[in-house]
Amino acid sequence: MKETIKVILVDDHAVVRAGFRLLLASVDSIDVIAEAERGEAACQLYLEKQPDVMVLDLSMPGIGGLETLRRICNRDSHAKILVFSVHDEAVYVHRAMSAGAKGYITKSTAPDILPIAIQTIAAGGIYVEDGLIGTRPASANSMAYRAIIEGLTPREFDVFLLLAKGLTAHKVADELCLGYKTVANYGTQIKNKLNASTAAELAHIAMVSGVIKG
């Protein structure tokens, strides 16, 4: 009898995890063995449970999805992690795959894609949803900004994204479970790196570089 694929689900919304679990329960070859709502718990669960595939959201409080991905892959270069995110911009896909992800799909994809992606990755393959990595030519400005953004740490990237979406430093602190001063310091570092002085400039840079859609 063929062994089932052991999966850990990581998403900070319980209703989303419940939906994933229900969907995967209909697939005989997949067994959800654990769930986590934060990256810190996901890292610990990975070590304890040694799943065949981890399905990981990117937008979570605490250390966040990208840092979770980086930490797990640094500890286990053979980790098989599928990013399942609302973000469909190419920069997210590149950052996730560079950090060690073996696949990337969006939450707007067809329901049957999730088990297919899990099965592909479990078998040693790579699965990136069609159309996520575009070929649109980039301007010199966008390429320069993108290079700097690619160099941001995972936490800097999380803060940059939220500031660019118009959240205040206090709101960002609440969203990421960080102290206000910590977020303010990140904000200053990010603005210095991007030569920006206001949140509006960060929003413009994010749109020009394709991090968020205008």
E strand or H helix at 105, and its extent? strand 103-106
> Can you give the pLDDT at residue 115?
95
Global confidence as pTM: 0.71
Sketch out the chain's domains with CATH numbers: 5-128 (3.40.50.2300), 140-208 (1.10.10.10)
> Can you give the pLDDT at residue 24?
94
> Can you give the pLDDT at residue 93?
86
> Can you give the pLDDT at residue 89?
80
Task: Tell me what percent of the chain is helix, strand and coil, each rounded to the nearest 5.
Answer: 50, 15, 35
Q: How far apart are CA 83 and CA 60, in angstroms?
A: 12
How wide is the angle at C-alpha 191 spanned by C-alphas 158 and 155, nearest 5°? Answer: 20
- pLDDT, mean of each 10-residue run, the chain (214 residues): 87 93 93 95 96 94 90 94 90 85 92 93 91 59 81 91 90 91 94 88 84 71
Return all residues near 44 (Cβ < 8 A) that are at least 6 apart.
Answer: none
At 71, which amino acid appears?
R
> Can you give the pLDDT at residue 203?
86
